[in-house]
Amino acid sequence: MREDTPDPSISPSNSERRFPNEIFAIIIDDLNDDLPSLRATALVCKDFVGLSQRHIFRTIDVTSTHSQTSEQVHRSASECMNRLSTLLRDPQSVSLGRFVQSFHFYVPSGLPIFRTTEILTHSLQNMPSLAELRLTSPGPEHFQVIQERCPHALKELSIISPLPQDLQAFQNMLASMPNLEFLAMLDWRVPFWQQVLKPIILILPSSLREVNFGRVDPIMLEAVAHGMSILYPQMLSTIFLQLYPAWGFRGIGALWERLQIDTSVVLDVQSRSYFIPEPHHFIANRVLSAIVNDTIGIMLGFTAPKVILRCFQTHGLVMFITKFISNLPHSVLKVLIALANDGPINPRLKLEDWATLDEVLMQRHEQGLLESVSFGRPSILAMDTISLDMFNDIPSLLPRSEMADILKVDTAMEVGVPRAYGTA
């Protein structure tokens, strides 16, 4: 028999397989965010189907883009939800729900409540591995569905722009989540009628580690403070706070009073409502002063030894930091500043501002009111968009603070990175 004659005892399927599935799994795992490639690998062979599908269906998102009109938003979300409902009701595809770990659900006003709760119910009961849930525009009926159907393994929950309602359904839902570690409450308003009828109390899950309050009515913060006096989440390590100045600062002092000293506080002055403008124009200076006053108002009653700021890397940044640090409560000994980029900036344009900041830092340090000021970045994912010029120049711009060893500059230091950030 010639050497190149195929052996009839070796089947094609055996001869084609040259690597174990573990090797192919590593290759496909490397494509985890490349949906076109994952769809292609799912068609290669039967063994590749499951390896690819666990990435393809890891995140289900029926939300919509902000670039759409209101009508397009509702139509797009409605179509997505109907397709999802069909997928999870088909006996041949219902098992795909086991791959879902992150579920983003948008409630369009164009669909009846019973229809959206029906789809949400069927979705949750077929997603046993769900770890993250995000809801936009939910009502109390949806909170009840989550309370009854959501897997106890859920770790992260984000509620965005809920309909005005009594908070009892939301409280009941939180009480049913024994393993929740992260909670985001974004764009929350408290109805006026609820403000005047009785004090509001909101008890956070005892398992909570991080909470993100983005543009939340300060009355809600007061409700959280009342809840902390009843049950404090002992593992709570970080609170992210982005306020809307027009809503005032009621309730913030009560929250500071209840926070334990080892809980980190991240103040977001990065949002557009706190945009730090070019300071050369008198109107811009007035805006900057208003921003500083708002942030100082937030800090009244603050007793923790450390505060973290998330800031745009903009022209007015140094002036803002200077005024902010000048007015900090005496309890704050450490300041961490996470710089995000908002366009290329020459940090040496306003050298006198840096000199003033250096003087303020040294004054507080000599008075025993400042141990360190640190500059870092918000996220490793944002590294490509952040100009490193300012980071490289900071030590020479703040020479006295550098010499006194109270200045820390570390672009590898990640500070103030709330999950579900930017939705508010």
Residue type, 413: M
Average pLDDT over the chain, rounded to an integer: 76
Identify the weakest region by mean pLDDT among 59-73, 273-287, 300-314: 273-287
Q: What is the dihedral angle through the alpha carbons of 26, 32, 37, 42, rounded to the nearest 10 degrees?
A: 70
Encoded tokens for 228? 């902390």
* Tokens linked to 341: 């980029």
Rounded to whole angstroms, the Cα distance separating 397 from 354 reads 6
Rounded to whole angstroms, how far apart are CA atoms 269 and 150? 34
Place of tokens 């409700």: 223
CB 299 within 8 A of CB 327: yes
Question: Residues near 129 by Cβ (< 8 Å), separated by ≥ 6?
Answer: 98, 99, 100, 101, 151, 153
91-122 CB burial, b ≥16 within 10 A, e <16? eeeeebbebbbebbbbbbeebeeeebbebbbb
Per-residue pLDDT reduced to its tens digit, 96-116: 777 888 888 888 777 788 888
The pTM for the full model equals 0.78
Range scoring the smallest mean pLDDT among 40-54, 210-224, 241-255, 392-406: 40-54
State how far the Cα of 190 lies from the Cα of 219, in Å rounded to an integer. Answer: 7
Cα(379)–Cα(132) distance, integer angstroms = 20
Residue 132 predicted with pLDDT over 60: yes
Reported confidence tier of residue 383, pLDDT bands at 50, 70, 90? very low
Gap between the Cα atoms of 387 and 382, Å rounded: 10
